[in-house]
Amino acid sequence: MVSLCDLHHFTIFSVRIRRQGSFGCTTITRSDTERPLAALSILDLAPIVQGGSARQALMNSRALAQMAESQGYQRFWLAEHHNMPGIASSATAVAIGYVAEGTKRIRVGAGGVMLPNHAPLIIAEQFGTLASLYPDRIDLGIGRAPGTDQLTAQALRRNLTGDIDHFPRDVMELMAYLDDVEEGQRVRAVPGAGTRVPVWILGSSLYGAQLAAMLGLPYAFASHFAPQMMMQAIELYRASFRPSEQLAEPYVMLGFNVCAAASVEEAQYLRTSSLQAILRLRRGMPGQLPPPVRGLTLSPEDEAIVSQFSQCSAVGDRDTVAESLLDFARRTGADELMIASQIFDHAARIESYEILADVHRDLTLSGAGEAVVEELSDV
């Protein structure tokens, strides 16, 4: 059990991390030589394409989840973002319920809920309701960013004081609401109490890595859009992990972009939709997901952004994607990959995920997963 004293030490250590900068780490090692190739899951933003609607975006998300279930993906997560013209998953718990109702086995959850936007009790009730309707299928990933701009955060009634203690305390309060009710407990989540919905910590810095380790929770790093501190965060998390009732050993999920097609040229073409969206977002002009374009012209500044964004990506035909997937597994030793794929055409998006699932099956059957783990263990 984590104490308030632990939280005090965590706060001091987190400040020290930010002052010192990144950790000096380049290699992740494992001792378990029998663990298979990283499992695959899907992170969905319910993208609203140009000329499309939120209704169609959410229907596409459910259809994508149904395909994911049939192809053996482990979980399907939706992300909380607000005031984004191209994202339909702002009411994340509602969207999760819609997807869960349309599927049977695949785990469905939040990747994630931005906890500073909400009271912990509200989230416990929402996800307790989901867990009651869809038992043993709901995940709760939580992050500390607002998922929007400052003005919209104020409209969400978010506390903008910036006290670093609030997020760890809110996480613990939320987990307490999802646990069994204690004697004398006056405030309960109904539904929610006793559901023990699995909680994940999401992050793109060392802060979340250390919090997840201290609480003994699985850790999901947003390497699909912010890869700079990925290796340092993995090392810190694994080195600092404390076993908990939820998790005996550290478990790392990494975001990974995939755009797969029948040919490398077609995949590169389809990917221009996501590149345009990223560049517009970085310029402070988010919009609906644009159609792909031939011969996309980039400035040197744009090239630098795209290069950074591409560090954790696989773009191409099945052979190219297989090579990129294995290379990423060798570099990180991830337990699970959360795949993001922003493709304008829904059928092409489905096909991209189907190609990836087929590649993953072939690699698993060929024993590539064991080879990756053995290589990591020998380092």
- Asked whether the predicted pLDDT for residue 18 surpasses 50, the reply is no
In contact, 80 and 89? CB cutoff 8 Å: yes
Least confident of 130-139, 145-154, 189-198, 243-252: 145-154
Instruction: Tell the residue number behind the tokens 């509602």, with chain if given.
Output: 94
The residue segments making up the domain with residue 107 are 37-378
Q: Does any domain span residue 6?
A: no
Higher pLDDT, residue 369 or 314: 314
Q: Does any domain span residue 21?
A: no
Distance CA 146, CA 155 (A): 11
Residues 6 or more apart from 175 whose CB is under 8 A from it? 199, 215
Q: In this structure, what CATH number is given to the domain that contains residue 221? A: 3.20.20.30
Average pLDDT score over residue span 55-68: 98
One-character DSSP codes across 189-229:
-TTTTT----EEEEESSHHHHHHHHHHT--EEE-TTT--TT
Distance CA 302, CA 307 (A): 8
Average pLDDT score over residue span 71-96: 96
Average pLDDT score over residue span 30-56: 84
Q: Does any domain span residue 371?
A: yes
pLDDT in tens, 216-243: 999 999 999 889 999 999 999 999 999 9
Instruction: Tell the residue number behind the tokens 């995939």, with chain if given.
Output: 258
pLDDT in tens, 328-349: 988 999 999 999 999 999 999 9
Q: Does any domain span residue 341?
A: yes
Higher pLDDT, residue 367 or 330: 330
Distance CA 369, CA 353 (A): 19
- Asked whether the predicted pLDDT for residue 256 surpasses 80, the reply is yes
Q: Does any domain span residue 263?
A: yes
Q: Does any domain span residue 10?
A: no
Average pLDDT score over residue span 300-321: 92
- Asked whether the predicted pLDDT for residue 54 surpasses 60, the reply is yes
- Asked whether the predicted pLDDT for residue 116 surpasses 90, the reply is no
Determine the pLDDT at residue 226. 87
Determine the pLDDT at residue 154. 76
Q: pLDDT grade, residue 149 (50/70/90)? A: confident
Q: Does any domain span residue 5?
A: no
Distance CA 313, CA 191 (A): 39
In contact, 34 and 273? CB cutoff 8 Å: no
Burial of 225 (0-12, 13-18, 19+ CB in 10 A): middle
Determine the pLDDT at residue 165. 62
Determine the pLDDT at residue 35. 55
Determine the pLDDT at residue 370. 56
Q: Does any domain span residue 4?
A: no
What are the tokens at 342? 């922003």
Determine the pLDDT at residue 156. 76
Instruction: Give the total number of structural domains in the chain.
Output: 1
Determine the pLDDT at residue 253. 98
Q: pLDDT grade, residue 117 (50/70/90)? A: confident
Determine the pLDDT at residue 166. 85
Determine the pLDDT at residue 161. 54
Average pLDDT score over residue span 49-74: 98
